[in-house]
Amino acid sequence: MASTPLLVVEKGSKQHKLWQSVGVVYVVALVLLVPVVLEPFEISKMNRALTLSVAILAVNLVVGFNGMLALGHSAFMGLGAFVTASLIQDENMDYWYIIPIILIVGFVFGVILGLPALRVKGLYLALTTIAMAVVFPSLVNIEQLGIAKRTGGPNGKVVSETVDAPSYMEWLPGVDGARGDRAYRYWMIVVVVALTMLVIRNYIRSRPGRAVIAIRDHEAGAAVYGVNLPMYKTVNFAISASLGALAGLLWSMDKSFVAGQDFTFLLAIDLIIGLVIGGVGTLQGSLVGGLFVVWVRDLTKRISIPLGFYDLSGEGPLANAIFGLILILFTFFAPGGIVSLGRLVQSKLIRVIPLRPDGEPIQPLADLDPGPESTRAQVAMNLAIIGAVLLPLGWLAMNIDNLIVGVFAFALRFQILITMPIALIVGINELQAHKEGKRSDSMVGQANVARILGGIGTVFLVLFGFFHFVDQYATGFDLPIV
């Protein structure tokens, strides 16, 4: 295959905007359809995954972007959760007023606990923060200052005011009954997560964010450049702490029950795992990490692998073993996490050329054109054919009643979401290039195959999705098509 990626677009061009809108459509569809498609208990898992994503983002701020090994954010989550629960139960406040309070409380605690971090460095700091995470569950039980009364002591605290779906939601198709409440909470959490990621993205791209990254890359150099080390480190830690507290608020909102045993060192380990596997130092990595930790743990709980004389069953401790193994493997083979793997794949498929201020691309597109001998049409054709072949295979494999095979079958069917549109667009591009005289004539047949197959596949995808949705969920509507 040629060393240039399959698709090269100019930043801001029509094609680029087309790809971006496709991406937005996928993401929005995912967000809107998830509570409709999943079972109610799976929606709760999704909520938990998103909550962990916020917490992992908090850890990422300190570990990934500032280079400080502060690994005890489960304590901040617990802080946020208990303060929320206490404020709602004892003071009868409303959830939406609590959000700013939680952020401020987290910030203040972050400043207090972040000051020692200025003096203690490296692995010593890791140990201190882990100590913080270990101590937290027992702090909840202190009798003094009325803390045990407010936190419910060893029994935990039940939050009786839950966030329920408003009445207008009954008119929406597909989310009714047990789904309704959880779906509402899901969408609220999605809004909070999206806002948080937006804020943090802007923070990282701004001046304080660049200062923080400079501290990570070379502390002495940053100091020489005039970065106020203690201030930026502390503020960063405090922001991370308030994010952790926000995650605690989301946790208590979703689960309506907080107990000290939920926020142990094991949760801190989960956050670390999500951080590393998602991708240290990336924003999307936090999201991916949160989803990974919750869903893969759920998946491993259901596995049972017979190994001859011994049965490796999934309940209980095996999930942790698999996590540990995955963590070790990722450290060796993918230190940048899943996001780095994703970027690797993306770099093979599409490249966006930035524009100079005068509007010209920094590297003329013609330089990246592989010329008459390009293999792009062939690759597109292969993609389309492989996609078309794997789809019925995945369909057939669905009949096998085995969890691992089921996951693979799902992946096999899912891949047409990616291969078909790519084959279609690359086919169209190649035919266009041929018309402009940049390609030899032998490409035409392959490009045509890619275009036609990709087109059929994409149309099939859209129609299938539409009819599936209509068939299953829009029972309240009268449509001429059944």
Partner 1 sequence: MDFVLLLQRIFDALFNSAIYSSLALALVIIFRSTGLLNFAQGEMATFAAYVAFVLLAGPTPRLTGGGLAGLVPGVPLSIPLAIMGAVIFGMVAGAVTERALIRPLRDAPELAMVNVTIGMLLLINSLTAQWWGTLGRFFPPVFPTGPGEYLDVFGARLRYNTIGTWLVLISLLIALGLMLKFTRAGLAFRAVSISRESAELNGVPVGRTLMYGWALASALGALAACLSANIVLLEPNMMLRVLVFAFAAATLGGLDSPKGALVGGVIIGLSQTLIPAYVPFIGFELSVLPALVVMTAVLLVRPAGLFGTRRIERV
The contact set with partner 1 (CB under 8 A) reads 63, 69, 71, 116, 119-124, 126-128, 130-132, 134-135, 138-139, 141-144, 219-221, 269, 272-273, 276, 280, 309-310, 312, 316-321, 323-328, 330-332, 335
Task: Give min distance, CB of 148 to partner 1, in A.
Answer: 11
Identify which of residues 266 and 393 has a Cβ nearer to partner 1 in the complex. 266
Identify which of residues 83 and 276 has a Cβ nearer to partner 1 in the complex. 276
Phi/psi zone of residue 368: left (φ > 0), alpha (ψ -120 to 50 degrees), beta? Answer: alpha
446 within 8 A of 378, measured Cβ to Cβ: yes
Task: Give min distance, CB of 276 to partner 1, in A.
Answer: 5
Task: Give min distance, CB of 91 to partner 1, in A.
Answer: 25
Identify which of residues 135 and 231 has a Cβ nearer to partner 1 in the complex. 135
- CB neighbour class for 72 (10 Å; exposed up to 12, middle 13-18, buried from 19): buried
- Three-class SS string for 321-363? HHHHHHHHHHHHHCCCHHHHHHHHHHHHHEEEECECCCCCECC
Identify which of residues 276 and 416 has a Cβ nearer to partner 1 in the complex. 276
Identify which of residues 307 and 366 has a Cβ nearer to partner 1 in the complex. 307
Return the sign of the alpha-carbon dihedral for residues 42, 48, 53, 59: negative
Task: Give min distance, CB of 235 to partner 1, in A.
Answer: 20
- CB neighbour class for 308 (10 Å; exposed up to 12, middle 13-18, buried from 19): exposed
Largest CA-CA distance found in the chain, in angstroms, rounded:
84
C-alpha–C-alpha distance, residues 171 and 169, integer Å: 5
Question: Within 10 Å of residue 469's Cβ, how many Cβ atoms?
Answer: 15
Identify which of residues 138 and 442 has a Cβ nearer to partner 1 in the complex. 138
Identify which of residues 92 and 144 has a Cβ nearer to partner 1 in the complex. 144
At residue 361, φ and ψ (nearest 5 deg) are -70, 145
Identify which of residues 25 and 135 has a Cβ nearer to partner 1 in the complex. 135
Task: Give min distance, CB of 56 to partner 1, in A.
Answer: 14
Task: Give min distance, CB of 317 to partner 1, in A.
Answer: 4
Identify which of residues 115 and 452 has a Cβ nearer to partner 1 in the complex. 115
Task: Give min distance, CB of 122 to partner 1, in A.
Answer: 7
Task: Give min distance, CB of 310 to partner 1, in A.
Answer: 5
What is the secondary structure of 369-384 as a DSSP string?
---TT--HHHHHHHHH
Task: Give min distance, CB of 272 to partner 1, in A.
Answer: 6
Task: Give min distance, CB of 27 to partner 1, in A.
Answer: 29
Closest by CA to 428, choosing from 76, 114, 57, 7, is 7
Task: Give min distance, CB of 63 to partner 1, in A.
Answer: 7
Identify which of residues 144 and 399 has a Cβ nearer to partner 1 in the complex. 144
- CB neighbour class for 36 (10 Å; exposed up to 12, middle 13-18, buried from 19): middle
Identify which of residues 108 and 327 has a Cβ nearer to partner 1 in the complex. 327
Task: Give min distance, CB of 141 to partner 1, in A.
Answer: 6
Residue type, 40: P
Residue 157 parent element (H or E)? strand 157-158
Tokens of 259: 């107990």
Identify which of residues 276 and 294 has a Cβ nearer to partner 1 in the complex. 276
Torsion angle (degrees, nearest 10) of CA 182, 184, 188, 193: 50
Alpha-carbon distance values, 352 to 346, 348, 418, 434 (Å)? 11, 12, 18, 22
Tokens of 254: 């979703």
DSSP letter at 169 equals G
Beta bridge partners of 8: 351
C-alpha–C-alpha distance, residues 206 and 222, integer Å: 16
Return the sign of the alpha-carbon dihedral for residues 9, 15, 16, 18: negative
